Structure 1
Amino acid sequence: MIYEHPLAYLLGVEGIALLRAFRGEHDSDFVAARIAEIRRLLDDESLADAAVQVERVDTVTGYRLWSPTYDNANTAFDVDGPVVEEIVGALPSGRALDAACGTGRMARALAAHGHSVIGVDSSPDMLALARERVPEAEFRLGDLRRLPVSDAEADLVVCSLALTHVPDLNPVLAEFARVLRPGGHLVISDIHPESVARGSVPTVRGPDGRPGRLVAHPHRVGDFLRAALAAGMRPLRCEEPGLPAPQDDPAPNPTARPSSAPEPAGRQPVNDTQPVNDTPPGLGPWDLWPWSLATLVPEAAQAAAAGTPAAIIWHFQTAARG
């Protein structure tokens, strides 16, 4: 279980903002305002006893709950999509693997580029939607660490928004290298580790109304690079795009969708069941979307989020034969 307290989140945001001021990004008035705001937060009785216990949810269970709404207003797609499209669009068509294919977003894009596509995912529910979305592709149930794909079967592997669920990148990158032909390409996109560390973790609402968070790991930039090099791949490109701040959202979140209560893109609850705990008035559904609390500290939230990368995108290539 995860103990989540709204006051802990808010004080964390204030702390990041103050650290940025300490290194010279803000003036004394900003610091004084933050300290005064922290005192106000500590005196706010609506925050004092609002903590919740949140269950960690495995990916099969989580994506079963999430699959009906996964594609709804998912801003994470807007962050990684253009960069991945640019990379993939410059590569020749061939046999492509969409690893952790989900509902088939990347599989459809790969097919549109003329690739013969295999999609693999561990969620039967997501695969069912992918088969409807991309009937020309072949979809297989499987795990990233044991792909149901032959050695050197693929010219291209694309893996989008999935590796944050994997505790160790090394076996997964080794599998990608195994299924790639000599000179083959690997394109990975994921939520940036800094964003994961700040709480951008997929959230679902269970049938009983309780919030749950999918297992997530903030892999460092170097973790990706070390795993790829160990698997015999060389880096060709790395991008860390951010999410532009909308005018009405003082605390842009790397996976937030535009709404009155921002949430990670695609991380919306699976139904409208009310939470078991009683959310204090004015706090909104923070137990599902902690970043919605940022409206209580807009100046600190904007300062803390400024320049935060939303995603990390890699392009690797295996060694050519000869």
Structure 2
Amino acid sequence: MHHEHPLAYLIGIEGIALLRAFTGRHDRDFTAARLAEVRRLLDDESLAHAGVDVDPVGPVEGYRVWSRTYDQPGNGAFALDEPVVGELLDALPAGDALDAACGTGRYARMLADRGHRVVGVDSSPDMLARARTRVPEGRFMLGDLGRLPVGDAAVDLVTCGLALTHVPALGPVFAEFARVLRPGGRLVVADVHPESVGRGSIPSHRGPDGRARRVASYQHLVGDYLRAALPAGLQVRRCEEPLLPVRGEGAAAAEEPGPWELWPWSLAGLVPDAARAAGDGVPALLVWQFER
């Protein structure tokens, strides 16, 4: 269990904004405004006792609950990864494709629409049920990223979307990707950027008892992907870092922190100027293309 306190998050955002001012990105007035805002936040009694105890939960259990709402509008990551992944897929010939950690079949649908023969693998039966409905022409199997139920050199293309952040070690997973790919095959991976994980971009939900839960997530550095991929014989062909959406200048501050399920994004609305400065130019996702 860990403790999430809105004041801690807000002071952290102010601190990042102040560091950026310290290194020359903002002026004296901005710095003075941030320091005054920090004092106001510290004196705000409504925030003083608003912390929440949060339990970790494994991906299978977490996505069992999240599968019910996963495809509903509001997941901003979809608007960031799908254009880049779609562009990468458009440049590849149709063939045998594996969507690893396929979830509800977002990428599997993209693959099938481009003429690929699709196999999907996921550890969540609930996600797989939705993928089968979404991509009826695909073949879907229960399985783990560390031991894919696919033969050696069986596919021309592997995709994996927003899943590796839940894997503690990348090496075994990339070794599996390399094993199932044919020579010259491609791997397209989109994942939550370590900068974004470090700022709280971790799936959340309430358990049956109403307790707050977050799906166990890991902050893999950019170099961690290379240290996993290169020894497996996978060569980098492209890397993109879609940026976090940033509030427009002059946005009005929110009056309430919002429900815990919307943290930390609703919290940022309490300090829009600091949040905009802290988030400017920060990547949200990491998208790779590798070749076997």
Matches within 5 A, 1:155-194: 155-194=156-195
1:24-76 Cα offsets, whole Å, 9 max, x none, are 00111111111111111111111111111100010010000000100111221
The alignment status of 1:121 with 2:122, answered yes or no, reads yes
Greater RCO, CA 8 A, separation 6+:
1
1:98 alignment partner in structure 2:
99
The alignment status of 1:297 with 2:267, answered yes or no, reads no
Q: Quick one: structure 1 residues 140 and 69, their matched pair in 2 at CA, closer, same or farther if it must change by over 3 Å?
A: same
State the superposition RMSD in angstroms: 1.8
| SS of structure 2 residue aligned to 1:144 | coil
* TM-score of the two chains, using structure 1 as the length reference: 0.87
Matches within 5 A, 1:44-55: 44-55=44-55
1:88 alignment partner in structure 2:
89
1:202-258 Cα offsets, whole Å, 9 max, x none, are 11122222221001111111111111101111000000011443549959xxxxxxx
> How far is the alpha carbon of 1:116 from its aligned partner?
0.6
Tell me how far apart the structure 1 counterparts of residues 28 and 140 of structure 2 sit (CA, whole Å): 58
Tell me how far apart the structure 2 counterparts of residues 118 and 249 of structure 1 sit (CA, whole Å): 47
Q: Quick one: structure 1 residues 46 and 246, their matched pair in 2 at CA, closer, same or farther if it must change by over 3 Å?
A: closer
Residues 123 and 143, structure 2, Cα contact 8 Å, conserved in 1: yes
Tell me how far apart the structure 1 counterparts of residues 279 and 109 of structure 2 sit (CA, whole Å): 33
| SS of structure 2 residue aligned to 1:216 | coil
Tell me how far apart the structure 1 counterparts of residues 37 and 247 of structure 2 sit (CA, whole Å): 24
> How far is the alpha carbon of 1:113 from its aligned partner?
0.8
> How far is the alpha carbon of 1:283 from its aligned partner?
2.6
The alignment status of 1:16 with 2:16, answered yes or no, reads yes
Matches within 5 A, 1:257-272: none
1:37 alignment partner in structure 2:
37
What is the identity, as a one-letter code, of the residue corresponding to 1:54? V
Q: Quick one: structure 1 residues 250 and 190, their matched pair in 2 at CA, closer, same or farther if it must change by over 3 Å?
A: farther
Residues 164 and 170, structure 2, Cα contact 8 Å, conserved in 1: yes
1:272-291 Cα offsets, whole Å, 9 max, x none, are xxxxxxxxx93321354222
Unmatched segments (≥5 aa) in structure 1: 252-259, 262-280
Tell me how far apart the structure 1 counterparts of residues 214 and 8 of structure 2 sit (CA, whole Å): 17
1:240 alignment partner in structure 2:
241
Q: Quick one: structure 1 residues 186 and 294, their matched pair in 2 at CA, closer, same or farther if it must change by over 3 Å?
A: same
Residues 202 and 214, structure 1, Cα contact 8 Å, conserved in 2: yes
Residues 286 and 293, structure 1, Cα contact 8 Å, conserved in 2: no
Residues 98 and 157, structure 2, Cα contact 8 Å, conserved in 1: yes
What is the identity, as a one-letter code, of the residue corresponding to 2:223? G
Residues 55 and 211, structure 1, Cα contact 8 Å, conserved in 2: yes
1:284 to 258, 273, 289: 258
Residues 6 and 286, structure 1, Cα contact 8 Å, conserved in 2: no
What is the identity, as a one-letter code, of the residue corresponding to 2:185? G
Q: Quick one: structure 1 residues 234 and 250, their matched pair in 2 at CA, closer, same or farther if it must change by over 3 Å?
A: farther
